[in-house]
Structure 1
Amino acid sequence: MGRTRTYEWEDPAVTASGVGLASGLDSLREIQAGRIPRAPIGATLGISLDEVDEGRVVFSLIPGEEHYNPIGSVHGGVYATLLDSAAGCAVHSTLPLGMGYTSIDLAVKFLKPIKVDTGRVRAIGTVVSRGRQTALAEARLVDARDRLLAHATSSCMLFPLPAASVGEASRGK
């Protein structure tokens, strides 16, 4: 007997069209409040954006069988997605209007398995260092008792968004 899972997401172009039109912190708070659509990967995996502060974000997930690998635990790619999201969005939360970022790398250490009975897990991302062109962030994946399940570091490149892109987005193109 097979299992099924159904979910919905909104047009990712809506969110992408607003990139750079507000500070990173304001953009993330709008997503958290539901006024801007979240990224489709959040719907696909069931990730929630729970907390947003400057230099710190928290995502959570309730693990399900749909996250499992062939050996009966949550796939490492799910860990990495949570950690990458937390680290990257922590950096994003520090950016002023008109600035963008992209991940340069992600180094993940898997420490404990996650299964359905683990319960809700949280990925806590914080900025370690931020300069004009790069930022370093870390993310910790913990269970409800704050036991460390995985850890990651991520380097991000920071860059000004092209004025044309910001202007087109503001005109709805």
Structure 2
Amino acid sequence: MERRSRTYDWQDPAVTAAAVGRASGLEFLRDILAGRLPAPPVAATLGMDLEEVDHGHAVFSLVPGEEHYNPIGSVHGGMYATMLDSAAGCAVQSTLPPGTGYTSVDIAVKFLRPVTVDTGKVRAVGSVLSGGRRTALAEARLLDGSDRLLAHATSTCMIFPLPTP
């Protein structure tokens, strides 16, 4: 059997974690997008990129590779779920004022179409459906290059004040 390998690198995640809550969630995400803050290591591990962010909106992209495959020869559903969770969560984060954090409470994912290396670049588009003081509801759609829906998710996020340093 032929062996394959993949290498990647990342920057210190403590730098980014220390910046959470200092600015608004939107400013924080724009700093990651612009490279002023390091992207989280999970992005390098999976090959996923934050592609755009605006108030209540976040888009992540990925070009599927063999390294994302499950045993039946298609991209593992966990990849879909991770992308959808990231898009929905960051859409919520983009609405938060300074000093405020969030975490995912749940996510419900529906897988609609298989993804393979032949699918090409996919995008997870997250949007806030309803925001409150303590919780927010967001959705995310996984789309191919022709904007066909590959998967859909809804997520509830808990919103909370961050401790002051």
User: TM-score interval w.r.t. the shorter chain?
Assistant: over 0.9
1:17-166 matched pairs, under 5 angstroms: 17-163=18-164
Q: CA deviation at 1:42?
A: 0.3
SS in 1 for 2:108: strand
2 CA distance for matches of 1:12 and 1:51?
20
Offset at residue 97 of structure 1 (A): 0.2
Q: Which residue of 2 aligns with 1:170?
A: none
Distance between the aligned counterparts of 1:101 and 1:49, measured in 2?
Answer: 18
Q: Structure 1: where are the runs of 5+ without partners?
A: 168-173
Consecutive unaligned residues of structure 2, counting only runs of 5 or more, are none
Give, in whole Å, the separation in 1 of the partners of 2:126 and 2:155: 10
In 2, distance between residues paired with 1:160 and 1:73? 40
Deviation at 1:11, TM superposition (A): 1.0
Using the alignment, how far apart are the partners of 2:3 and 2:121 within structure 1? 24
CA distance in 1, matches of 2:120, 2:11: 27
Question: Distance in 2 between the 1:22 and 1:3 partners?
Answer: 42
The C-alpha deviation readout for 1:51-105, integer Å capped at 9, x for no partner, is 1100001000000000000000000000000000000000000000000000000
Within 1, Cα distance between the matches of 2:57 and 2:41?
A: 21
Q: Which letter does structure 2 place at the counterpart of 1:69?
A: N
Alignment correspondent of 1:13 = 14
> How many equivalent pairs are there?
164
Taking only aligned residues, the RMSD between alpha carbons, in angstroms, comes to 0.4
What is the TM-score with the length of structure 1 in the denominator? 0.94
